[in-house]
Amino acid sequence: MSETELATARRVFDDEHEAFRDSFAVFVKREVVPAPSAAAMFAAAGRNGFLGIQVPEELGGAAVPDPRFGLVGAEELARNGLLGLGLSFATHVGVAIPALLDDSTDEQQARWLPDLVSGERIAAVGGNTVRFSAQPGGGRLDGVVLGVVNAASAGLLLIPVAGPDGDPRVAVLDPRAPGVRICNEIEPMGLSDAGLFDIHLDGVEVDEQDLVHGNLMRIQRDQRLWSAVLAVAGARTALDWALDYVRGRKVFGRTVASFENTRYALAALLAEIVRTESLVDSCVRDHCAGRLAPYRAAALALSAGELLCRAADQALQLHGGYGYMREYPISQAFADARYFRLASCSSESVTAILAAELGL
């Protein structure tokens, strides 16, 4: 736990969660930081039992229905500067697995969950619907799913579909199925570890047994909550990197930390982090109680995404010219923050939800 976190203790986690945090932090430093890779991270996390905490024991999990353990894991990845892998982990543990636990049958869970718990397969979840044309025994999928986390390494795709009957469903697909094309020609500068690519579906045949009664609004709500958790953790990381730098860097015989502008700028950033983190914790409590409203998750995502960008901006500026050098992690954090806001906290989509809440 960093000194900024010690100064602003949180009450949403109890001793068990903090003990889990300690274990996960050791795992990240030993297994992930030396050679960051989504496939290697999931395989190691599966071996250590970190992926299936909410999953029933008979399917390989720990049968603990508490999403806060997963949230702690996502935070620790972000706190180590691994924002892309944090988003990948959050999608798998916090969005895909709960969706299957809530909406799929026992037979479907037995087919899909063991491989997700072991890390043998990585789940990707679409954030928009595609067209579903009903056919005897199933249907056909056509459309494009934009900016899908884990698309690059996915072993299982969860795609929300819109059918003519208005019944919300999610199609669970093998990415190798005929008609599925993952557009990975261009690797982004930011969040490259998140495997963010578009998925094109051209006449993909899906059986009835591969459809679950999902809800796009709930999937988007969960995506936004977990994204906000990562954004605030990433903002704290940027603040800590800035503190380390300004305390060691001297200008005109004085440390950068001793200048009034530096002190005021970082103090204001801490205040904003604490304020947004309080909203995060409130939404986490609502999520655990099953009452998190989509508009609250949208408001949180918007605030947290903007905070992450401001934190990365401020930290980079305080690094001076060194902030633009790849040797300093803040340069990658700066790029990640921009992609993160576009991919996970899009102001256009969340603003539409908030406007609808106002009746506009």
> Mapping DSSP to helix (H, G, I), strand (E, B) and coil, where does residue 170 land?
strand
CATH number at residue 161: 2.40.110.10
Q: How far apart are CA 76 and CA 86, in angstroms?
A: 8
Regarding whether 196 and 113 lie in a shared domain, the answer is: no
- 145 and 208 share a domain? yes
Half-sphere exposure of residue 37: CA atoms within 13 angstroms, side-chain side = 8
Stretch (H or E) spanning 120: none
For residues 289 and 234, state if they share a domain: yes
Q: Given this model, what pLDDT does residue 2 score?
A: 58
Q: Is the pLDDT of residue 349 over 90?
A: no
Mean pLDDT on 14-43: 96
Mean pLDDT score of the chain? 92
Q: Quick one: pLDDT at residue 21?
A: 96
pLDDT per residue as tens digits for the range 50-108: 999 999 999 999 999 999 999 999 999 999 999 999 999 999 999 999 999 999 999 99
Q: With a cut of 70, say whether residue 337 has pLDDT above it.
A: yes
Q: Please tell me the predicted confidence (pLDDT) of residue 4.
A: 54
Kindly give the pairing relationship between strand 123-125 and strand 138-148: unpaired
- Please determine, for residue 265, whether its predicted confidence score (pLDDT) is greater than 80: yes
Per-residue model confidence as pLDDT tens digits over 116-132: 999 999 999 998 899 99
- DSSP lists the bridge partners of residue 180 as 201
Last-in-domain residue among 93, 118, 143: 118
- Model confidence band, residue 298 (pLDDT cutoffs 50, 70, 90): very high
Domain co-membership, 37 together with 109: yes
CB atoms within 10 A of CB 2: 12
Residue with the bigger pLDDT between 11 and 292: it is 292
225 with 96, same domain?
A: no
168, two tokens: 């919300």
**Percent of residues, the chain, with pLDDT higher than 70:** 95
Can you tell me the mean pLDDT for 283-298? 96
Tell me: do 155 and 249 sit in the same domain.
no
199 lies in the same domain as 164: yes
243 and 342, same domain (yes or no):
yes
pLDDT confidence of 7, banded at 50, 70, 90?
Answer: very low
Q: What SS3 state is found at 315?
A: helix
CA distance 166 to 232: 36
In the chain, the N- to C-terminal Cα span, in Å, equals: 42
**Do 170 and 187 reside in the same domain of the chain?**
yes
What pLDDT is recorded for position 66?
97
- Of the three residues 181, 212, 243, the one that is the final residue of a domain is 212
* 242 and 317 housed in the same domain: yes
| Cα dihedral 337→340→341→344 (10° resolution) | -160
The span from the CA of 103 to the CA of 93, in Å, is: 15
Domains contained in the chain, number: 3
Tell me what pLDDT residue 6 has: 45
**131 lies in the same domain as 111:** no
CB 157 within 8 A of CB 176: no
Q: Quick one: average pLDDT of 322-339?
A: 91
pLDDT at residue 57, as a whole number: 97
Q: pLDDT-derived band of residue 161, with 50, 70 and 90 as boundaries? A: very high
Range among 159-163, 278-282, 349-353 rated most confident = 278-282
pLDDT band at residue 350 under the 50/70/90 scheme: confident
For residue 327, name the pLDDT band (cuts at 50, 70, 90): confident
CATH of the domain at 279: 1.20.140.10
Distance CA 125, CA 172 (A): 9
The sign one gets for the Cα dihedral 234, 277, 90, 207 is negative
- Whether 181 and 292 map to the same domain: the answer is no
- Sign of the four-CA dihedral 170, 176, 182, 188: positive
Which residues form the domain of 109?
3-118
Predicted pLDDT at 348: 72
Q: What is the pLDDT of residue 345?
A: 63
Place of tokens 């902030």: 323
User: What's the rounded mean pLDDT across residues 33-38?
Assistant: 94
Q: Give 93 or 135, the one with higher predicted confidence.
A: 93
Given 62, 92, 118, the domain boundary residue is 118
CATH number of the structural domain spanning residue 24: 1.10.540.10
Q: Find out whether 356 and 220 touch, Cβ atoms under 8 Å.
A: no
pLDDT at 11: 85
